[in-house]
Amino acid sequence: MNWGCVCLDLDNTLIDYEAAFKKGMHYTFHHFFDGNWSQIKPADKDEWFPVFKKQCNELFDNIKLKNWSKQEYQQIRFIKSLQYFQIEITPEMAWEFQSYFYSIVHLFVEPFQSAPLLLNKLSERNIPFGLITNGRTYVQKNKLKALNFERWFSPENIFISQEYGVAKPNSKLFEIAHHSLNKSTSSPSLYIGDSWELDVVGAINAGWDAIYLNSREKVPTTNHQPLQTCRTLNEVIEVLGKEIIEERG
């Protein structure tokens, strides 16, 4: 396949965000509850985190259902995780906790082992490639800097939802990237990401091809047809190898 550009998701596609989330939340917990909030420390971080993570998973759909904003979700999941230990805090304190996490999470990001190989292979090919990622601009930029991903992505090739005021799965963000990077009139763009709803559905609805990186064995929730489903980045490299490398020799 001759794509006019290839774009990638960042969190849980190129980097192990689940691991960074856990480490960053542990660090934030320690910062507050072994610091200014020591009087209300609910439990040890290893006892608290699974309770918090359960709240994250159970409450997340409230964003999709548009019951809560992302910020409300982030506040409520934390408040509820402390209520489990009979600790009451204010929404303002919950936001202080989340904001601190945002300011440090980049310290814990690590690329998946095969990410550099994938990015090197894309750079070797004469094909424009970029990042489309949902999130706060400063948080995502801090991560890219910490990862030294500037080696592969120049600022014009990075599309962060907050910067454009529109987030995946909205087609608009894909269209902005397509118009900036895909100089061909006939070749489609390709997107690679780990979220069915945000990445696969978003990309296909915008007229892109999609590769679904289903590393967490999630069942698709719609009838969209990705070009390929892969379980690992190595499998993605294989697919691209066949599709791009053979084509372009």
Which residues contact Mg ion by CB under 5 A? 9, 11-12, 194-195
Q: Are 119 and 34 in contact (CB under 8 A)?
A: no
Those residues with Cβ within 8 angstroms of residue 111's Cβ, 6 or more apart along the chain or in another chain: 14, 15, 16, 147, 149
- For the chain, the 3-state helix, strand and coil shares in percent, each to the nearest 5, are 55, 10, 35
Q: Of the two residues 11 and 16, which places its CB atom closer to Mg ion in the complex?
A: 11
Least distance to Mg ion from the beta carbon of 165, Å? 20
b vs e for 18-43, b when ≥16 Cβ sit within 10 Å of the residue's Cβ? eebbbbbbebbbeebbeeebeeebbb
Q: Of the two residues 9 and 16, which places its CB atom closer to Mg ion in the complex?
A: 9
Q: Of the two residues 12 and 28, which places its CB atom closer to Mg ion in the complex?
A: 12
Least distance to Mg ion from the beta carbon of 11, Å? 4
Q: Of the two residues 62 and 215, which places its CB atom closer to Mg ion in the complex?
A: 215
Amino acid at 245: I
Overall residue count recorded for the chain in this entry: 249
Q: Of the two residues 12 and 182, which places its CB atom closer to Mg ion in the complex?
A: 12
The token pair at 117 is: 């190989």
Q: How far is 79 from 83, CA to CA, in rounded Å? A: 6
Least distance to Mg ion from the beta carbon of 168, Å? 9
Least distance to Mg ion from the beta carbon of 234, Å? 18
Least distance to Mg ion from the beta carbon of 77, Å? 19
Q: Are 64 and 168 in contact (CB under 8 A)?
A: no
Q: Are 211 and 129 in contact (CB under 8 A)?
A: no
Least distance to Mg ion from the beta carbon of 195, Å? 5
| Closest to 214 (Cα-Cα) out of 197, 223, 202 | 197
Q: Of the two residues 12 and 75, which places its CB atom closer to Mg ion in the complex?
A: 12
Q: Of the two residues 52 and 191, which places its CB atom closer to Mg ion in the complex?
A: 191
Q: How far is 156 from 88, CA to CA, in rounded Å? A: 45
Least distance to Mg ion from the beta carbon of 39, Å? 37
